[in-house]
Amino acid sequence: MVSFKNLAIVTLAVTTTSVEGISFSNIYLNKAITIFKNPTSLIPSFSNSKSINYQDTKPIPGDSPIEVCDASEKQLLHLDEVIVTPNPPVAGQNLTFTAVGTLDKTIEEGAYVEVEVRYGFIKLIHQTYDLCEEIVKVDLQCPIKSGKQTITKNVEIPEEVPPGKYLVVARAYTKDDEYITCLTATIIFPVQ
C-alpha cells in the first residue's frame, strides 16, 4: 500500500473529488509504523461494517490497482480511467496518479468517506473522514462541481512502508447519504 493513508486516499481521493484530487498524508503511515513497532497491537479486529463483495467489483480502465466495488449499486461517480505510475507503486519512489471521471451531482459540505485499511487479514484502520476537510489538503474545496473532470497528482511514497499485502476500501457518501462511490485497491509491497 502506498503508505497507509496514501493508498487509502488514492482510493479516497478519486471518491472525494470526483476525480479532482488525492488527499495524501502521513496519518496511515504513522499508524502503521506504530503498529509494526508494537506487535501486540496486531490483534485482528472484526467489524459490523459493510464488507467487500469480491464478485461485485469492476476494474477501472488504465491498468491501475484501483477497482470500483459495490459495482451493481447506483453511484454518483463514474471513472473513465485511472493511471498509476509506477504500477505497482514502489516504496521510496514518487507516484503519479491521473484520473478522469464524471460526477453526476455536486458534492457539498457534509459529505463523508469511510476508509478501511487491512494488512493481510489484519484491520489496521477503519475510520470516517469529512470529505471536504480531506480535499482541502490537496488545494481543493467543496462544493465539488458535477461534470467531467481530470486530475493529476504526484505523491512521494515513503521508504518506511512495511512489505506485505494491503487492501484499501473507501466508500464515499453525500451529506444526504447518497452513494458517491466505492473504490478498492490491493497493493503488494515486496521485501527489499
Give the per-residue pLDDT at 97. 85
What number of CA atoms fall less than 13 Å from residue 80's CA on the CB side?
Answer: 9
Q: What is the widest separation between alpha-carbon atoms in the chain?
A: 47
Give the per-residue pLDDT at 123. 95
Give the per-residue pLDDT at 135. 82
What are the per-10-residue average pLDDT scores of the chain (192 residues)?
A: 44 38 36 44 40 76 94 97 92 90 96 95 95 80 90 85 92 97 92 78
Residue 98, burial from CB neighbour count under 10 angstroms (0-12, 13-18, 19+): middle
Give the per-residue pLDDT at 11. 46
Compute the distance between CA of residue 79 and CA of residue 181 in angstroms, rounded to an integer: 10
Give the per-residue pLDDT at 70. 97
Give the per-residue pLDDT at 138. 65
Asked if 16 and 134 count as a contact pair (C-beta separation under 8 A), the reply is: yes
The β-bridge partners of 147 are 103
The strands making up 112-119's β-sheet, listed across from edge to edge, are: 58-59, 66-68, 179-189, 164-173, 112-119, 122-130
Q: How far is CA 97 from CA 50, 108, 126, in A?
A: 27, 24, 24
What number of CA atoms fall less than 13 Å from residue 120's CA on the CB side?
Answer: 7
Please state whether the peptide bond connecting residue 86 to the residue before it is cis, i.e. omega within 30 degrees of 0: yes
* List of domains in the chain: 4-189 (2.70.220.10)
First to last CA, the chain: 14
Which 3 state secondary structure label does DSSP give 14?
Answer: helix
Give the per-residue pLDDT at 167. 95
Give the per-residue pLDDT at 189. 87
